[in-house]
Amino acid sequence: MNTNKHYLSNNVLLQIAFILIILIVFGLITNNLLSFFPGFLGAICLYVLLYNPLQWMLKTKKWNKLTSVILLMVGSAVFIIGPLYLLIKMLTNKVLVLLNDTAQIKTDVNKIIEMLQTKFHIDVFSSTNIEKITQVGGKLLEKTLNASMDMTVQLGVAFLILYFMLMHHQTLKNWFYKNIPIRNNNLKRMNKDLRDLVISNAVGMPLTAFIQAIIAYIGYLIFGVDDALTWFILTIFAAMLPVVGAAIIYVPLGLFLLAKGDTGSAVGLLIYCFVVVGLSDNVIRLVLQKKMADVHPLVTIFGVIVGLNLFGFIGIIFGPILFSVFFWLIKLYKYEFIDPNPED
């Protein structure tokens, strides 16, 4: 009878213990840094967008690396942080005014409820819920301010990481090609696809929302919406939301105009927004898709839902990127292991 017993060698046990220690330490680090994950994603997005301009500065213009990196970072910071600062400052002032004038909010809500009940016999809100509506509105405004502060922190983290990525871009690239266990042709495909995904989500989505908001802003001015500039800015962010989009802004505005008795302007605004603003979304996306990667609407919808839950408001952009990368990884797996020589 064979009584030989198989034991794990000390070397194998040592490797297992070493791997467990690495995983435990990695888990502890990840758990504490998870809240800064949006900043890390932001750094990657900016790096992808700024890599080619950096190469142009270094190889074509022969500029100093530090000078080139600083110029790119300052330029991108002005482009991103400048409008955000103005937005936060303006919205903060508006929020403070609203929070100090809850009586006016109740009055406006009452007007809308009365109009819906008398003209259309629609009891959308009961009078007993007015106080709840006011409280919910206040909480939403407070969350908006908190999201603005969180976005500021994430931008700081993103630019800090971005500096080191740009300064050591060649080392990062060499490490990537040397250590990632994927064939070089798939690595090149991965670089191109990743760039297309980032441009489509991080540039295409905000650009589409901005153009759509401009079209809506023209309608706000034509039909006499008060404080049209503020509603224009809010429409930019609303237009990035899936399904409802900018309608979450212009429908309440139309109802408010009806409540004021300005029926002509209200009907005109709603028709203009539903027809012109609504159709412009499809036209803008059709034009941009010729220059950017085509992202399926379902990817955007579920990406935003997951992104908002994980990252807060900035998840509107990062959520679809994560979803796109997930499906792209599945495609990369196909290229690497199932169909190494695809025709496309």
* Residues contacting 122, CB < 8 A, separation 6+: 116
Q: What is the signed CA dihedral for 278, 281, 286, 288, rounded to 10 degrees?
A: 170
In the prediction, which pLDDT does 67 show? 92
SS3 label, residue 122: coil
Contact 273, 219 (CB under 8 A): yes
- pLDDT tens column, 185-200: 777 777 777 888 788 7
Q: What is the signed CA dihedral for 234, 236, 237, 241, rounded to 10 degrees?
A: 120
Structure tokens, 306: 């997951």
In the prediction, which pLDDT does 222 show? 92
Contact 232, 265 (CB under 8 A): no
- pLDDT tens column, 202-225: 788 888 888 999 999 999 999 988
- C-alpha to C-alpha distance for 150 and 242, rounded to whole angstroms: 22
Res. 94: pLDDT tops 90: no
- C-alpha to C-alpha distance for 218 and 181, rounded to whole angstroms: 53
pLDDT band at 147 (very low <50, low <70, confident <90, very high): low
- Beta-carbon neighbour count of residue 42 at 10 Å? 25
Find, among 183, 169, 182, 184, the residue nearest to 44 by Cα. Answer: 169
- C-alpha to C-alpha distance for 58 and 120, rounded to whole angstroms: 66
Mean pLDDT for 240-261 is 83
Res. 130: pLDDT tops 70: no
* Residues contacting 336, CB < 8 A, separation 6+: 182, 183, 186
pLDDT band at 72 (very low <50, low <70, confident <90, very high): very high
Mean pLDDT across the chain: 78
- pLDDT tens column, 275-298: 998 888 778 877 776 566 666 677
286: Cα separation from own chain's centroid: 20
Q: Which residue has the tokens 């809308």?
A: 112
pLDDT band at 234 (very low <50, low <70, confident <90, very high): confident
Res. 254: pLDDT tops 60: yes
Mean pLDDT for 138-161 is 73
- pLDDT tens column, 23-33: 898 888 877 77
In the prediction, which pLDDT does 118 show? 67
